[in-house]
Amino acid sequence: MGEGVIIAVDLGGTQTRAARLDQQLRIVERDSRPTVTTSAQTVVDGVVASVRAVWPQDGTPVLGIGLGSPGPLDPFTGVILSPPNLPMRGFPLGDVLKEALGVPVTIGNDANAAALGEYVRGAGRGTRNMIYMTVSTGVGGGFIVDGKLLAGARGLGGEPGILLMAVEPDDVRMFETLVSGPHITRMAREAIATGVESSLKNVADFNTKDVGEAARAGDTLALSVINRAATLLGVGIVNLLHLFDPERIVIGGGVTKLGSLLFDPMWAAIRQHVSTPAYLDGFQIVPAELGGDAGLIGAGILALADGGRGDVSAFVD
């Protein structure tokens, strides 16, 4: 690849962030602005403005733009399919941005971009098979298999949050609805509504952080709902172990701030339910390292490595 820079975009339902990266994936300049979701055009206008804010002013060529977007989307065509928080159903974002900016544009799932970032510059370094998961308001993720991003036949692969878990035959739920932050707070509120005693009764509009603080203070209800979510998180991870046999799972997101309250029962469930201890030989679960920069660095890789579907090990520092 010739001399030049890459522009990375992390498009979210509330914030649009762009960065100029050199070819070593170092962030040189940043821009951040609210995402205006009035229409698809206002979203596009915000992306274009953010990209132009970090565009090199000295004539250095821009080799390409990589953009991580909420899915579902088609990374092969750059079409946004049906995102829950953007007014862009069936929208050809890649083509529209290429026409507006005059350089190649590669679109990818935002969680996949974060997975690529953690793989090459963060907590996934040193592996060939890694799963990235973020557990917050939902569960997102990305899968690196033999040094390449798993996309699937339609670009829809690697979605741990929508794994189905059958509690009973007529009670089938998505994984993320059982382990996310909103689920933890909802379980606590429902229990309190039935008369279960808890210090959380005195906290208006409490959130997952409040539940964690109550649990650390010994609140029985708070401990119970966190333990349940953590146990189910461990069961979901066992499914991923059986399917992909990764060396490492990199995990981030707000729910992980619960610390040992989450990780201790999670690991207990993993050890209890894994089919053979061989899956755990050398296996690690580690915290994500890059924070918000994972998505930007990963978006840069989308532009440099065929949407991350090429072998991205060459970018590992």
In angstroms, the CA 51 to CA 296 distance is 12
The arithmetic mean of pLDDT across residues 5-34, rounded, is: 95
Say how many domains are in the chain: 2
The arithmetic mean of pLDDT across residues 80-93, rounded, is: 94
Task: Give the number of C-alpha atoms closer than 13 A to the C-alpha of residue 283, restricted to the C-beta side.
Answer: 20
Tell me: do 83 and 200 sit in the same domain: no
Tell me: do 206 and 63 sit in the same domain: no
Tell me: do 186 and 99 sit in the same domain: no
Tell me: do 309 and 174 sit in the same domain: no
Name the pTM for this structure: 0.92
Tell me: do 82 and 151 sit in the same domain: no
Tell me: do 18 and 98 sit in the same domain: yes
> In a 10 Å sphere around its CB, with 0-12 CB exposed, 13-18 middle and 19+ buried, how is residue 291 labelled?
exposed
Instruction: Answer whether residue 1 shows pLDDT above 60.
Output: no
pLDDT of residue 2: 65
Q: What is the pLDDT of residues 21-32, one digit of tens each?
A: 998 899 999 999
Q: In CATH, what number is assigned to the domain containing residue 38? A: 3.30.420.40
Q: Which domain holds residue 63?
A: 5-117+292-315
Q: Please, which pLDDT band fits residue 313 given cuts at 50, 70 and 90?
A: confident
Q: What is the pLDDT of residues 62-73, one digit of tens each?
A: 999 999 999 899
Tell me: do 283 and 309 sit in the same domain: no
Tell me: do 70 and 149 sit in the same domain: no
Q: Please work out, in degrees rounded to the nearest 5, the angle formed at the alpha carbon of residue 118 by the alpha carbons of 116 and 119.
A: 60
Tell me: do 220 and 282 sit in the same domain: yes
**Strands 248-252 and 284-287, bridge-based pairing:** parallel
Q: What is the pLDDT of residues 240-255, one digit of tens each?
A: 999 999 999 999 998 9
Tell me: do 88 and 179 sit in the same domain: no
- Average pLDDT over the chain, rounded to whole? 93
